[in-house]
């Protein structure tokens, strides 16, 4: 016991002597069970002794020195780093937590395998809460589980905010990378984060990540990240100033700032607007202000460095056809002479109209560019297209070229997946489980997973979430799959479920028992749908749901719904088959950056005979040597519609995955498009 206390004292003393704070690993090794707080061990100015087990010419030596110097990782003792040791999930969480300046977490999620007050507990809570590292099902985090290379890269990618990545990983074993890790690995590869880690261009995704490799990964991430930041424009800077009372304009302003690497400034009213203030035609505050051209609501605080900006993007909602009067206050508060101003507004239906010219009159010395209206939920890529179309000072377009992030959701037929606007990757063919129950359901889902299907669609209303969860868990065990390999969608139903959304959402999670759900949809519009969606948004914040979506929502429903929610849905699931094609609705949804998924792809039970026997479809099938079902599913995929055919027949299930070795010609697509009868096979 005395020996333990002494060695602990020495370890702590040695840590304080080194350049950095002690790593989670070394505190753990020296003091397991003591509750010592690594954050309290501060750095000192003495130079650190070299690590005896890190040869100066080792490929990771520079990375380890960098991470040590930055205080991100340090040795297992003052003279050893043990670069070959594997890194546990808790350790990786601790490293990233430290990279984020060790934020504290209120109301942390509890994990049965995480010891409260331990060296990792804050980091684990932070990681789970932010979604950087999710817990497993059954309330565990996997504190001591090793981290595989693909997991580690995915975790870093999530930490980086799920940056968009396109193209296919060029590593020789790309095919063995799990679907959920593909985007992350591609991103890491393109950004040089894997430099040094690839032997013979192999990534070895399932191998355990070693400490030296983690140091290398972080070193390349941090140094490349820093170096890839565009230099500030040589003269003048860009500001994005916006007012957003209901959070509709905010995301668009954030996109613009991000695309242009501009500064963001929120125009905050001194007296914030309440819901009652904003209620139209009640002679409430907004009504009165908008009716009074002289109204100038006060702004809280001011922008000290307005003189630094040459270009100002000005975002606002449209209230009664005009910009809110607080925008007038803003324009009159500064000398904007000679600055370029680019207005943009958000509105459900009105255009930018005279708000534009009326505002220009308040800043007549400015170079005023034509403004534009955007609908709520407008995607980053639309904003980017707009910015590219503007006649901006030269240095701005140059900065813009460096950034381009999100794009329209494009199907990747090699990875058989699509990247959602939430940043997660989703397979583009799956299994629908409506009408599958009991053992049939378990067997069908397992058969699908064994055939390579990685997307399963269920719903509370199908009454089979327990079976789906059981099948997924069993398949993970039997097929060696990980939770992240499988994408599970469920839905909550109108009526009592949407009236009590927190309870219903939790019930879905409990029935599935998979730790988190990849996507949750509102099954149908309902009088409580906004409230239910907002509850789902909270579960996203808590990391229990990863992406959100809607089902049976069409243009009008979307127009009404989107302005009322914060997270743009990642997916809309609607009835789509050759006899009911939704040709007006699909492009509308896709233009919003939302992925479309078709239910009843084969016409639905009771209708499949006619559709599969359709002369046009069977003729095309014959020409390609495939089945009618495959032709219909492929037609959907070529229209960028995700397919979830339902089946309990293992042969059909397998057949429905074989969609990537043939392609329909434009003529064949046109022939199937001509089959549309606007014939819905269900009422919703
Ligand atoms: P579906 O996929 O259009 O058709 C299923 C029928 O097709 C089954 O009878 C199945 O029979 C047969 N089938 C499947 N693959 C076949 C193949 N290769 N060759 C011949 N027949 C084949 O209809 P669904 O299952 O009702 O709908 C698909 C999924 O969409 C549902 O499972 C559910 O997840 C979702 N959905 C959502 C909503 C909503 O409101 N959001 C509504 C309805 C459905 P076997 O079992 O014999 O293969």
CATH code 3.20.20.100 region(s) in the chain: 426-673
Dist CA 104 CA 210 (whole Å): 27
Mean pLDDT over 661-682 rounds to 89
Q: How far is the CA of 632 from the centre of ligand 1 (A)?
A: 12
More confident residue, 7 or 447: 447
Q: Whose CA is nearest to atom 48 of ligand 1?
A: 647
* 3-class state of residue 96 by DSSP: helix
For residue 350, the model assigns a pLDDT of 65
551 pocket-lining for ligand 1 (C-beta < 6 Å): yes
User: Atom of ligand 1 at shortest distance to CA of 684?
Assistant: 40
pLDDT at 13: 33
Asked whether 427 lines ligand 1 (CB < 6 A), one says no
Q: What is the pLDDT of residue 131?
A: 75
Residue 646 near ligand 1, beta carbon < 6 Å: yes
pLDDT tens for residues 545-594? 999 999 999 999 999 999 898 889 999 999 999 999 988 899 889 888 89
The two beta strands, 417-419 and 411-412, are antiparallel
pLDDT at position 120 over 90:
no
pLDDT in tens, 460-481: 999 999 999 999 999 999 999 9
> Count of alpha carbons within 13 Å of 474, Cβ hemisphere only?
16
Contacts with 297 (C-beta within 8 Å, 6 or more apart), sequence order: 269, 270, 271, 289, 324, 325, 326, 329
Pairing of strands 263-266, 309-317: unpaired
Q: Is the pLDDT of residue 171 over 80?
A: yes
- Give the lowest-confidence range in 20-29, 418-427, 520-529: 20-29
Q: Using a 6 Å cutoff on CB, does residue 574 contact ligand 1?
A: no
- Best substitution site from 522, 553, 557, 604 to test ligand 1's pocket, by max atoms within 8 Å of Cβ? 604
Using 50, 70 and 90 to split pLDDT, how confident is the model at 11?
very low
pLDDT recorded at residue 236: 52
Residue 547: closest CA among 420, 382, 387, 365: 420
Instruction: Look up the CATH number of domain 238-396.
Output: 3.40.50.360
Query: Are 644 and 431 a contacting pair, CB within 8 Å?
Result: yes
Pocket test for ligand 1, best of 430, 431, 432 (most atoms within 8 A of CB): 432
Give domain 426-673's CATH superfamily: NADP-dependent oxidoreductase domain (3.20.20.100)
Which region among 18-22, 178-182, 394-398, 642-646 has the lowest average model confidence (pLDDT)? 18-22
Q: How do residues 289-337 score in pLDDT, each as one tens digit?
A: 999 999 999 999 998 888 888 899 999 999 988 899 999 999 999 999 8
Q: List, in order, residues 6 or more apart from 305 with CB less than 8 Å away.
A: none
DSSP, residue by residue, 372-410: EEE-TT--HHHHHHHHHHS---HHHHHHHHHH-------
Q: What is the pLDDT of residues 491-505, one digit of tens each?
A: 999 999 999 999 999
Checking if the pLDDT of 36 tops 70, the result is no
Lowest mean pLDDT among 35-44, 340-349, 617-626: 35-44
What's the confidence (pLDDT) of residue 397?
Answer: 38
Q: Is 457 in the pocket of ligand 1 (CB under 6 A)?
A: yes
For ligand 1, say whether the CB of 434 is within 6 Å of any of its atoms. yes
Question: Which band of pLDDT confidence, cut at 50, 70 and 90, is reported for residue 138?
Answer: low
Calculate how far, in angstroms, residue 575's C-alpha sits from the geometric centre of ligand 1: 11
Q: Where in the chain is the domain with CATH 3.40.50.360?
A: 238-396
Pocket lining: 525 vs ligand 1, CB cutoff 6 Å: no
How far apart are the C-alpha atoms of 611 and 275, rounded to whole Å? Answer: 50
436 CA distance to ligand 1 middle (Å): 10
pLDDT at 676: 92
DSSP annotation of 86: B
Asked whether 603 lines ligand 1 (CB < 6 A), one says yes
Atom of ligand 1 nearest to the CA of 433: 32
> Under 8 Å CB-to-CB from 211, ≥6 apart: which residues?
25, 73, 81, 82, 83, 84, 85, 86, 87
**Which of 168-172, 284-288, 647-651 has the least mean pLDDT?**
168-172
CA dihedral for 175, 179, 185, 187, sign (positive or negative): positive
Q: State the distance from the centre of ligand 1 to the C-alpha of 645, rounded, in angstroms.
A: 4
The protein residue with its alpha carbon nearest to ligand 1, atom 4, reads: 604
Q: How far apart are CA 486 and CA 387, in angstroms?
A: 37
pLDDT 10s digits, 336-375: 988 889 999 998 766 777 788 889 888 888 888 888 888 8
Backbone phi and psi for residue 410, each to the nearest 5 degrees, phi listed first: -105, 140
| CB 336, CB 309: distance < 8 Å | no
- Residue-by-residue DSSP string for 567-616: SPPSEEEEE-BTTB--TTHHHHHHHTTPEEEEESTT--TTTHHHHHT-HH
Residues designated catalytic? 462
| Ligand 1 atom showing the smallest separation from residue 524 Cα | 40
- Could you read off the pLDDT of 490-542 as tens digits, one per residue? 999 999 999 999 999 999 999 999 999 999 999 999 999 999 999 999 999 88
What is the CA(109)–ligand 1 centre distance, in A?
38
Question: Which is more confidently placed, 269 or 111?
Answer: 269
Q: Which 3 state secondary structure label does DSSP give 315?
A: strand
Please compute the mean of the pLDDT values over residues 49-65 and round it to a whole number: 85
Tell me the pLDDT band of 26, cut-offs 50, 70 and 90: very low
pLDDT tens for residues 589-611?
Answer: 988 889 999 999 999 988 999 99
Contact status, residue 94 vs residue 21, Cβ threshold 8 Å? no
CA of 482 to the centre of ligand 1 (A): 26
- 74 with 227: CB under 8 angstroms? no
Q: How many residues does the chain have?
A: 684
Lowest pLDDT segment from 62-66, 86-90, 375-379, 649-653: 375-379
Q: What pLDDT does 305 receive?
A: 86
Average pLDDT over residues 232-256: 80
pLDDT confidence of 167, banded at 50, 70, 90?
low
Our answer on whether the CB atom of 465 is closer than 6 Å to any ligand 1 atom is: no
Average of pLDDT values for 83-106?
86
Name beta bridge partners: 312. 239, 341
The pLDDT of residue 44 is above 70: no
Q: Which of 572, 600, 651 for a ligand 1 pocket mutation test, highest count of atoms within 8 Å of Cβ?
A: 600
């Amino acid at each position: 016991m005395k020996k333990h206390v002494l060695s602990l004292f020495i370890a702590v003393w040695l840590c304080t002597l080194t350049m950095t704070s002690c790593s989670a690993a070394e505190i753990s090794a020296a003091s397991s069970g003591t509750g010592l707080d690594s954050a309290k061990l501060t750095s000192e100015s003495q130079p650190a002794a070299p690590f005896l087990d890190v040869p100066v010419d080792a490929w990771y030596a520079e990375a380890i020195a960098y991470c040590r110097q930055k205080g991100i990782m340090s040795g297992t003792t003052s003279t050893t780093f043990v670069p070959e040791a594997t890194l546990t999930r808790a350790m990786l969480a601790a490293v990233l937590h430290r990279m984020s300046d060790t934020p504290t977490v209120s109301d942390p999620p509890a994990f049965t395998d995480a010891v409260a007050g331990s060296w990792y507990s804050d980091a684990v809570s932070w990681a789970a809460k932010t979604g950087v590292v999710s817990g497993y099902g059954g309330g565990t985090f996997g504190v001591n589980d090793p981290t595989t290379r693909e997991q580690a890269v995915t975790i870093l990618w999530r930490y980086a905010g799920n940056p968009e990545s396109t193209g296919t990983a060029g590593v020789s074993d790309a095919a063995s990378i799990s679907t959920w890790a593909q985007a992350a690995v591609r991103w890491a590869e393109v950004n040089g984060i894997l430099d040094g880690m690839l032997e013979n261009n192999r990534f070895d995704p399932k191998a355990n990540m070693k400490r030296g490799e983690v140091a290398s990964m972080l070193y390349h991430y941090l140094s490349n990240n820093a170096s890839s930041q565009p230099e500030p424009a040589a003269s003048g800077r860009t500001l994005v100033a916006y007012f957003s009372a209901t959070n509709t304009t905010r995301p668009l302003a954030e996109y613009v700032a991000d695309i242009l690497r501009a500064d963001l400034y929120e125009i905050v009213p001194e007296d914030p607007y309440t819901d009652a203030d904003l209620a139209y035609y009640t002679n409430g505050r907004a009504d009165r202000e908008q009716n009074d051209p002289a109204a100038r609501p006060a702004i809280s605080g001011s922008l000290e460095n307005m003189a630094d900006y040459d270009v100002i993007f000005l975002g606002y909602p449209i209230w009664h056809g005009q910009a809110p009067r607080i925008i007038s206050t803003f324009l009159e508060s500064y000398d904007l002479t000679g600055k370029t101003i680019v207005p943009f507004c958000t509105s459900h239906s009105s255009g930018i109209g005279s708000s534009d010219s009326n505002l220009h009159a308040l800043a007549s010395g400015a170079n005023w560019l034509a403004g534009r209206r955007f609908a709520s939920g407008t995607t980053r890529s639309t904003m980017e297209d707009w910015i590219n179309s503007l006649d901006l000072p030269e240095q701005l377009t140059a900065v813009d070229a460096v950034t381009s992030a999100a794009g329209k959701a494009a199907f990747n037929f090699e990875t058989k997946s699509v990247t959602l606007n939430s940043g997660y990757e989703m397979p583009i063919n799956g299994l629908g489980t409506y009408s599958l129950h009991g053992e049939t359901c378990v067997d069908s889902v397992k058969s699908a997973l064994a055939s390579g299907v990685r997307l399963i669609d269920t719903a509370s209303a199908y009454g089979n979430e327990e079976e789906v969860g059981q099948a997924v868990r069993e398949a993970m065990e039997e097929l060696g799959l990980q939770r992240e390999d499988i994408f599970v969608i469920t839905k909550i139903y109108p009526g009592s479920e949407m009236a009590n959304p927190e309870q219903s959402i939790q019930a879905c999670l409990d029935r599935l028992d998979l730790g988190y759900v990849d996507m949750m949809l509102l099954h149908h519009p309902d009088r409580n749908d906004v409230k239910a969606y907002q509850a789902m948004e909270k579960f996203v914040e808590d990391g229990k749901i990863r992406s959100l979506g809607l089902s049976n929502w069409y243009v009008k429903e979307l127009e009404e719904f989107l302005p009322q929610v914060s997270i743009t849905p990642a997916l809309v699931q609607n009835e789509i088959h050759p006899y009911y094609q939704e040709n007006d609705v699909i492009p509308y949804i896709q233009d919003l950056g939302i992925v479309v998924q078709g239910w009843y792809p084969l016409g639905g039970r009771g209708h499949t005979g006619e559709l599969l026997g359709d002369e046009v479809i069977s003729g095309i099938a014959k020409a390609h040597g495939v089945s009618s079902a495959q032709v219909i599913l492929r037609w959907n995929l070529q229209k960028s519609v995700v397919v979830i055919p339902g089946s309990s027949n293992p042969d059909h299930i397998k057949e429905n995955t074989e969609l990537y070795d043939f392609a329909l010609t434009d003529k064949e697509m046109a022939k199937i498009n001509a089959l549309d009868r606007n014939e819905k096979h269900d009422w919703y």
